Structure 1
Amino acid sequence: MTSEKPDIEQNDKVTTTNESSIVFNEEKTMELNNRLKNDFMSYCFSFLHEDEEARQCIQIVWNKYLECVGDVAMLSAFFDTLPYHIKTSVLPKYQNEIIQWCEKLFHIHSHALLCSTYYSETFQRVIRYALKPNQYKKAIIYIPMDFDPNLKIDLTSSLSNIKFEHISNKTSHEDMIDINRFEELIKRDINDSVSYPFMIIANAGSALLGRCDELKEIKQICERYNIWLHVIGDLLGSLALLSTIKDNVNISCDSLTMDIMKLFGIQNLPYLTFFLRSTIDINETDEQNSLQRSSHPLDDFILHSPSVSFLSVWSISQRCSNENIFYHMKQSFDLANLLLTRLKQIKTIHIINDEDNNETYTYQRICSGDAPNDVLPKSLVIFRFQSDNITELENIDNLTGYLDLLNLWLFDKLSHQHPKINLELLKSVHFQISKPNEPIQNQIAAHALRFAPLEHLLDVIDENDMQLFLDDIQRFSDILIATMTARANLASTVSKYSNLLSIPIQNWAGIGAVRYIPSNINPTNTDEISNYEINIIQSELARQLQTNDSAFSLSGGGTDEKDSLLYLRLGMIRKREDLDILLQKISNVGKEAESSIKYAEDMAEKIKAGIEKAEKDLQDENLQLLAQDGLLRQLPIVSNLMSWWSPAPSASATATKGRSFDLNSGRIESTEDTYVYRMQIRRQSHHAPTHNDTTSDNSDNIINSTDQKTNE
């Protein structure tokens, strides 16, 4: 008995020591983790010390992530260290909690749920999940025309037994599925020997324009031909914003994928895929001896994927209230609706994704059961400047291209004035619109502006910002209207000025271009000298006009003969009457510049002639001095002896004198009087330039007046 007590006491000491060391190690590890995290974040923020606004934005996004998600990386790392059979036991509990939470949150009834880190991985899982067993034909997946081509290439390279078929739409919009065309393709492919209709991917809020397909009708066709319907789009989560909804309401599809990072406004969240259709009749095990390691076929996918995906969603379900989660989505929908409503009041703004004014889309379009009749929200707004009320539009060459330039100018101005709005430019290379009252085939490439607040994590736009944004749209639209009108009337207005010539130019959003022609030049018959004079006066005009008005700029002067002449480009104007003011200013300044250049040229000729005359006079005087002094005085050594023997006179009458050019009199004079009187003597001339005549007359008047007073 006595020998056992020391052993027990020793074991207690070892246990106490181990526990204290574990506690100490945990505290030390936590301290080390915090220090490393702070050092890393401080180093990253050091690159933003000059951009305080960007630093604040990053801090807001990061704080929101910590508040809603927390540090799930530690839980994910711990879960990944568990043995596989332990994971299969732990996963169902949390997977069921996520499904129940999402069902209450989004009002979507699903049999399974999948969290995916990558978008392409989501489609791969859905396709593998829904593929029919023992099917050796290629599965046809029908997609709309705007489906991401990079995603299509990624899927076909990963899955060899699928192929894609685009559904063209010649009746409405190309980003929407033509139901009649879809059924025609099914009937064509159903008896094909190498492929079979398998799946269709539809939109509930297309990526570019936010439009919705007729999901209820597409679902009926899919049930008739046993085709899987998968739906994507930003409006799938909008059911959560409805105040009341019946239990039998559900999205009309077999599966759907939503980007909760956009819906929640929280970074680094996975894509959620809901499986509304049970796959017991699709994915049955064909081998009786196969081991079922998980309770659901999707559990294997989840266990072989990064665990941080489903743990992030589970952490949000435990931390955040519905109001906090839906704030970003509700705010984004409200801002888009506000902008859409206000833009309709501006006549010169064309809203592209609101072309179906005769039809209002409600939740009955995308939901089954007793769906509410509430209007579907707008997740984005696409608009462009476009005016058809100008009567002289036919005078504008390439009107479509010119409107694109105006919309590009509008985008630059709005983006600079309102960076928080996060406008996006849809370039005409990748974007097309339909002409008003014309079929879908007559689409034209066009620039447009896109406002999609749902795609940005920061909720920094309020109603006041939106009002200022709309005020600037109206103000810039008035400028564009005035500029378009001036461009249409430029040629006719320029014809009123004898010295101005209208120049047609491309790729310029301003009024156009004019060229000032000097009065002594015939614009129809020019040579190299006259072209040089024209370019000189254009440069002088631009220099003088740009000092007070930014509407002028100099361009032209290319290597081509047709582009060798310079011209003045006219920018934007605020009022239609400003065109006459600009042209009058060019004409007046041009005449002044022409007179100045002509005077400078005359003076240059006089100076040149004076220099030549002075050189000749100096040369004659040098020859005369050489003849008087003799040749010996010019030799280097002998000249010193001659000067010692017979010194030269200190001031010779024939000494070389300098020459000066009098700008007032225009005469070459000797500098002899300057050195004698130690001052420059000014002599007036009857041939002095006219700009000094006024001064001379004034001086004479003053002198005469003084003499008269003296005599009195």
Structure 2
Amino acid sequence: MTSENNTNEQNDHITTNNLSSLPNISDTDQSTELNNRIRNDFMSYCFSFLQDNEEAHQCVQIVWNKYLQCVGDIAILSAFFDTLPFHIKTSVLPKYQIEIIEWCKNLFHINSHALLCSTYYSETFQRVIRYAFKTDRFKKGIIYVPMDFDTNLKIDLTSSLSNIKFEHISNDISSEDMIDINQLEELIKRDINDTQSYPFMVIANAGSALLGHCDQLTKIKKLCEQYNIWLHVIGDLLGSLALFPTIKENVNINCDSLTIDIMKLFGIQNLPYLTFFLQSTTDIKQIDDNKSLVTSHPLYDFILHSPSISFLSVWSISQRCSRDTILSHMKVSFDLTNFLLTNLKDVNRLRILNNDNHQETYNYQRICSGDVPDDVLPKPVAIFRFEPNHILEVENMDDINGYIDLLNLWLFDKLSQHYPKMNLELLKSVHFQITKSNNTDLNQAPAHAIRFAPLEHLLDVIYQNDIQLFIQDIQRYIDILHATMTGRKNLSLIISNYENLSSIPMPNWAGVGAIRYIPSHINLSDIDEISINEINTIQAELARQLQTNDTAFSLGGGGGSGSGTDEYESMFYLRLGMIRKSEDLDILLRKILNAGKETETSLKYVEDMAEKIRTGIEKVQKDLQDENLQLFAQEGLLRHLPLVSNSEYPDDIT
């Protein structure tokens, strides 16, 4: 009994001590209330700037709610973990690292031996390079990259890692974001015997950043294995394997390491970059704390010396979210892009720039090994531009590439104004040109294209109905562009039928062109300042009249030092904008001609009236002058006449 009582007393004492170490309930309530108030005050202030935009307010709320649903308030756990002693964190980390790797394996179907979570993009490359670098080499490691590799990222890496250098692999056949395997092999053979450097790594694309292209990873991997080179892969298509519910165990991405931007794929803010290491990185060490063997990785030091919120965010998602919730943004984005591309193929005179003509080779066998499905790779982006079906449509036009580019700029402006939620972007590349010239300098001039990438935008929600309306407007705008292009091509020929109209070259104008109304009595070969003033007056009056009913007209020229499009730079002209149908050009020209003649007649009448008024004024002025002269003459005569008076006081008269 005594022993039992002592035990109970001891347990009560322990319980009392444990309770005393916990915060008071009232203190906890106050802390919770304070936290809620601070959070609500901060969010209310931020939302106050969105009061006038209810749609933006709702979008932000949706993204924020999704973050809370999928990630939660992980910052508290992160702060707690970061306060732990280093040896405790070393013991805790393996459990959660293994759980994250297993979860990613089941989700992405990627068999990896280690995983890194990085806050910054450059940090992912630094860690991969440091890990893969061969420490026994005293030469610089050459990293082969495509031409579109981020210049700022390259500068950042070379400044932090002095023992590497970059070699760009150009691709003149398709685009600058893909690696030409033949050229890659030639460079490797050239560099393999270099005394100052050696082939070290290839960075390839599986869904490039801007164009969404995918390198032939299977062939590149074989080449890298042949020369003992590390292959690192980046791109949005790396996560697309997650869209398969099941996949065979022997399927894996053809690379040594890869980096995925899960913030893009999941549509959840503030998530880290995931870097998977497919090569074995296990390094077993003896941990004496618990007298047991613990499997440790060399990469754990990277993780433990980084903010823990990165890996804890991923772990929290793995505990809270279903597969459908996580993959909904990626699936919807790929479906929207595919829906747009499918419908754009039916739009006449619209060229899809990232449409692969060999779909049988653009499948998962391009990037994966094993018994991989032969499904076609999804497209993360859609890139398109307006182009004529045949070069004959614009064969007589000067600077074809430049003018088609102006039309695409007009198309981008219209689509961006009417569909801001689409978040369209404007790209420039030499590979977008419609024709190739014998002049090499002209071939290097970049052309514009329009890019749609729903995967990259979390705030704006887009539906298929929006895409359908978007496609209808594209078709309408394409018809306008084609009519305008045809009108510009035929302007000089058509205008020759109108004797009072002359065409003006307009190289930097997307519309039909420019014309000038010339009065019948003016000869352009013998023009003077008076005639120029008359022409300018007519053009200005024409612009004023025509703009009241039609926005296709605008006044240009008259600057003297402006565009330099005409030898008479001080003369005004009428700019013709876009037309809806080719027949509209004749209507516009007749309207200008009729209005010009009316204006010329009105001005002639005004001039005649002004001349009559001027003549009348001159006559009146002359009559007044004659009358004044007569008065002056009479006054002068009166002054010389003698004054006669019979006054008795002649001295008073002065």
Same fold (TM over 0.5): yes
Helix, strand or coil at the partner of 2:432: strand
Matched, 1:341 2:334: no
Partner of 1:74: 76
Residue segments in structure 2 that go unaligned for 5+ positions in a row = 1-8, 286-292, 562-566, 640-654
Q: 2:62 aligns with which of 41, 60, 63?
A: 60
For 2:430 and 2:218, the matched residues in 1 are separated by: 28
Task: Work out whether residues 328 and 459 of structure 1, in 8 Å CA contact, stay in contact via their aligned partners in 2.
Answer: no
For 1:508 and 1:389, the matched residues in 2 are separated by: 22
1:295 Cα offset (Å): 2.1
Helix, strand or coil at the partner of 1:353: coil
For 2:147 and 2:34, the matched residues in 1 are separated by: 53
Alignment of 1:585-600 (within 5 A): 585-600=591-606
Partner of 1:500: 501
Task: Say how many residue pairs are matched.
Answer: 615
Partner of 2:308: 307
Helix, strand or coil at the partner of 2:575: strand
For 1:264 and 1:438, the matched residues in 2 are separated by: 44
Partner of 1:136: 138
Partner of 1:376: 377
Indicate the structure (1 or 2) with the bigger Cα radius of gyration.
1
**Deviations 1:235-281 (Å, cap 9, x if unpaired)?**
00000111331000000100000100110011111100000001469
Alignment of 1:96-107 (within 5 A): 96-107=98-109
Partner of 1:573: 579
Residue segments in structure 1 that go unaligned for 5+ positions in a row = 1-6, 285-291, 634-712
Partner of 2:40: 38
Task: Work out whether residues 479 and 573 of structure 1, in 8 Å CA contact, stay in contact via their aligned partners in 2.
Answer: yes
1:297 Cα offset (Å): 1.1
For 2:511 and 2:196, the matched residues in 1 are separated by: 58
Alignment of 1:275-674 (within 5 A): 275-279=277-281, 295-357=296-358, 359-389=360-390, 391-427=392-428, 430-433=429-432, 445-458=446-459, 460-560=461-561, 562-618=568-624
Q: 1:596 to 1:171 in 2, by over 3 A?
A: closer
For 2:304 and 2:637, the matched residues in 1 are separated by: 113
For 1:613 and 1:570, the matched residues in 2 are separated by: 47
Task: Work out whether residues 143 and 164 of structure 1, in 8 Å CA contact, stay in contact via their aligned partners in 2.
Answer: yes
For 1:108 and 1:612, the matched residues in 2 are separated by: 99
User: Quick one: which amino acid aligns to residue 507 of structure 2?
Assistant: Q
Q: 1:28 to 1:470 in 2, by over 3 A?
A: same
Q: 1:404 to 1:106 in 2, by over 3 A?
A: same
Task: Work out whether residues 433 and 443 of structure 1, in 8 Å CA contact, stay in contact via their aligned partners in 2.
Answer: no
**Deviations 1:481-533 (Å, cap 9, x if unpaired)?**
11111111000100000100011111111100110001110122211111111
Task: Work out whether residues 552 and 568 of structure 1, in 8 Å CA contact, stay in contact via their aligned partners in 2.
Answer: yes
**Deviations 1:175-196 (Å, cap 9, x if unpaired)?**
2112222122111111111111
For 1:632 and 1:269, the matched residues in 2 are separated by: 111
Partner of 1:200: 202
1:41 Cα offset (Å): 1.2
Task: Work out whether residues 433 and 444 of structure 1, in 8 Å CA contact, stay in contact via their aligned partners in 2.
Answer: no
Matched, 1:227 2:229: yes
Partner of 1:654: none
**Deviations 1:90-145 (Å, cap 9, x if unpaired)?**
11111111111100000000000000010000000000011112221111111111
Helix, strand or coil at the partner of 1:88: helix
Helix, strand or coil at the partner of 1:297: coil
For 1:448 and 1:555, the matched residues in 2 are separated by: 28
Q: Cα RMSD (Å) of the superposition?
A: 2.9
Task: Work out whether residues 558 and 564 of structure 1, in 8 Å CA contact, stay in contact via their aligned partners in 2.
Answer: yes
1:362 Cα offset (Å): 0.9
**Deviations 1:123-170 (Å, cap 9, x if unpaired)?**
000000111122211111111111111111110001000011112224
**Percent identical residues:** 70
Q: TM-score, normalised by structure 2?
A: 0.89
For 1:198 and 1:294, the matched residues in 2 are separated by: 28
**Deviations 1:603-637 (Å, cap 9, x if unpaired)?**
2233333334444545565676788899999xxxx
**Deviations 1:560-611 (Å, cap 9, x if unpaired)?**
4642111001111111111100000000000000011111122223333333
For 1:508 and 1:396, the matched residues in 2 are separated by: 13
1:341 Cα offset (Å): 1.0
Q: 1:21 to 1:325 in 2, by over 3 A?
A: closer
1:431 Cα offset (Å): 4.9
Task: Work out whether residues 88 and 294 of structure 1, in 8 Å CA contact, stay in contact via their aligned partners in 2.
Answer: no
**Deviations 1:57-83 (Å, cap 9, x if unpaired)?**
211211111111111122211211122
Task: Work out whether residues 556 and 574 of structure 2, in 8 Å CA contact, stay in contact via their aligned partners in 1.
Answer: yes
1:372 Cα offset (Å): 1.0
